[in-house]
Amino acid sequence: MTEEKILADPFGRRFPYLRLSVTDICNFRCSYCLPDGYKKSGCESFLEKDEILRLVRAFAGMGTWKIRLTGGEPTVRTDFTEIAAAVAAVPGIRRLAFTTNGYRLPERAQEFYDAGLRAINISIDSLNAKKFRDITGHDRLEEILDGIDACYAAGFEAVKINTVLLKGLNDGELEGFIDFVQDKNISLRFIELMRTLDNQDYYKKYHLSGETVTEKLLARGWQQIPRDEGAGPAVEFTHPESAGKIGLIAPYSKDFCKTCNRLRISAKGALHLCLFGTGGYSLRDYLQHDDQTEELQEKIMELMRFKRSKHFLHQDDSGATPHLASIGG
């Protein structure tokens, strides 16, 4: 009998969840991520579908059951739905999600669902059209809101909204966001702005602690709910009068790393043990043939010993990530 392989780190954490970037390219220019738009840097040889499949099979053989496709903007890849369909069909993968800026979602939601995607996170930083345009560089709020309806119509099981909390830009919109989710089966999560190599000044100007949101929610009768296994990093709140939930992703909060259950693969095939780590470990040489699964699994297991117990954001060390589009947010 072969020994069962389970991915774990030296601190006893398990990794059912993999965030897989399929491209660094993005068509938006969010002010905290790619303020000048995507710039080509060196070679753009992103993982091919077959390489992605070999990777996902190897992870699935070590207990990973949830995959999130991300980027850059994953849907700009012309073979995105083909990749999704292939990943969804890998034995052991029970949940396939993706994170998107929602571009062209009204036309494409059904195609994404039919490919096997079941959970979607859509980034919406403001419900005010002008602010949305100022933050993302695109006057597309209405199209993206229509995309949410298209996701429900297509059959998506989970629709979530990611909102980066930005001091003076959208922190005054809490009431508007609460109203927005009130009659929708949706979870809106505020993400604390993260410092990366490229956004140091922006971070100083706009970062706001997630605690301000928690305090306001608790004061309005929202209650924290327990976290599911395989769930992302959000702490979620419900309210008896709201169909929707509000969550908070607060990497700067105490104990954020204790429940870490996820690993990341960059679009070029590097394993990133932490979003705020010092770099990635290329796995690409192990992704070239179908018979490399064991070798690949051994390599990944070996690298797990380098996973640190926590990030060092509080020591002003945000790692080597230039912006989140480069590693898959």
Pairing relationship of beta strands 270-272 and 262-265 according to DSSP bridges: antiparallel
Q: Binder to ligand SF4 among 28, 80, 177, 237 (CB under 6 A)?
A: 28
Residues between 38 and 77 with contacts to ligand SF4, criterion CB under 6 A = 71-73
What is the closest distance, in whole angstroms, from the C-beta atom of residue 93 to ligand SAM in the complex? 20
For residue 187, state whether it binds ligand SAM (rule: CB under 6 A): no
Q: Nearest 5°: phi and psi at 181?
A: -85, -10
For residue 32, state whether it binds ligand SAM (rule: CB under 6 A): yes
Phi-psi region of 328 (alpha: psi -120 to 50; beta: other; left: phi over 0): left
For residue 136, state whether it binds ligand SAM (rule: CB under 6 A): no
Query: Under a CB-based contact definition with an 8 Å cutoff, are residues 323 and 195 in contact?
Result: no
Query: Under a CB-based contact definition with an 8 Å cutoff, are residues 319 and 278 in contact?
Result: yes
What is the closest distance, in whole angstroms, from the C-beta atom of residue 317 to ligand SAM in the complex? 15
For residue 162, state whether it binds ligand SAM (rule: CB under 6 A): yes
Query: Under a CB-based contact definition with an 8 Å cutoff, are residues 248 and 235 in contact?
Result: yes
Query: Under a CB-based contact definition with an 8 Å cutoff, are residues 207 and 193 in contact?
Result: yes
Q: Identify the bridge partners of residue 154 per DSSP, sorted by sequence position.
A: none
What is the closest distance, in whole angstroms, from the C-beta atom of residue 76 to ligand SF4 in the complex? 9
102 contacts: CB under 8 Å, gap ≥ 6: 122, 123, 124, 140, 143, 144, 147, 148
Q: CA quadruple 133, 135, 136, 141: dihedral positive or negative?
A: negative
Q: Binder to ligand SF4 among 20, 30, 109, 122 (CB under 6 A)?
A: 30
Question: Which of ligand SF4, ligand SAM, none does residue 70 bind (CB under 5 to 8 Å by kind)?
Answer: ligand SAM
For residue 84, state whether it binds ligand SAM (rule: CB under 6 A): no
For residue 327, state whether it binds ligand SF4 (rule: CB under 6 A): no
For residue 217, state whether it binds ligand SAM (rule: CB under 6 A): no
> Which of 22, 19, 37, 27 has its CA nearest to residue 323?
37
Pairing relationship of beta strands 245-249 and 235-238 according to DSSP bridges: antiparallel
Q: Binder to ligand SF4 among 21, 75, 101, 326 (CB under 6 A)?
A: 101
Contact flags string 36-75 toward ligand SAM, x per CB under 6 A: ----------------------------------xx-x--
For residue 101, state whether it binds ligand SAM (rule: CB under 6 A): yes
Question: Which of ligand SF4, ligand SAM, none does residue 196 bind (CB under 5 to 8 Å by kind)?
Answer: ligand SAM
Strand ranges across the sheet with 245-249: 223-225, 235-238, 245-249, 187-192, 158-165, 119-123, 95-100, 66-71, 17-23, 262-265, 270-272, 281-282
What is the closest distance, in whole angstroms, from the C-beta atom of residue 72 to ligand SAM in the complex? 6
Look at residue 317 and give its three-state secondary structure: strand
What residues line the site for ligand SAM (CB under 6 A)?
Answer: 26, 32-33, 70-71, 73, 99-101, 123, 162, 164, 191, 193-194, 196, 199, 324-325, 329
What residues line the site for ligand SF4 (CB under 6 A)?
Answer: 26, 28-30, 33-34, 71-73, 101, 123, 325
